[in-house]
Structure 1
Amino acid sequence: MEVGVSFAWDVGIREVVLECDSKIMSNALLGLCTSLIIISNILAGVYHQLQDFRVAQVSHVRRQGNKPAHILAKHAKDIIDSDNFITWIEENPSLIESAITHDVLNLSSS
């Protein structure tokens, strides 16, 4: 999340919506609770970075409710060890196309 917020700012995005599958993290960023001591410094930094955005929303989404993010996180974990950095701007990575379609179809039917 920390790297994502920094990256969004660096590429000129000023309105963000952060979805997190950790209720503790999302509540801490919303100021609803204190974070675990082990991540408190990181979350404090993210919170302060978010203050610079025009709009910054944080919401909790259950892991099974955001399959594309879960797939990307697993992919990032695999490539992080290789010291590569990959971004997609204005396009969807092919590895999550079917998950995005599934999410959109489920949203429109509810």
Structure 2
Amino acid sequence: MLRHKIVTASFALAAVFVIAGCSGSPLSTREKGTLGGAGLGAATGAIIGAAVGAPGAGAAIGAGLGGVTGFAVGNEMQNREQQQAQTQSQLSSQQREIQQQQQQIQQLKSQQETE
């Protein structure tokens, strides 16, 4: 009875991931990490669980632990991506400002030469 509930819960969890994956919008790094971790955890948990006679329970526990770990890793990666994007935006802005200043310097030099 308990094994049946665990297997049912595992399939329900897998269905949620499949439906979330079909939402139409691309997955964020955080979501990819969560799904990848849950998948790896479920597979590893099923293998370990099979060795002790409870592959369903092992898969469910592994999916949960892997999902949490995958979320943490994916979240950190996404935060770094956002930091890099912000830094790149600031660099681009500074480069545009430098180019404008160089143009102004050139204009001033040209004006001085004509005077």
The answer to whether TM tops 0.5 is no
TM-score bin, normalised by smaller chain:
0.3 to 0.5
TM-score (norm 2): 0.31
Larger Rg: 2
Compare the two structures and name the one with the higher strand fraction. 1
Q: Which has the higher helix share?
A: 2
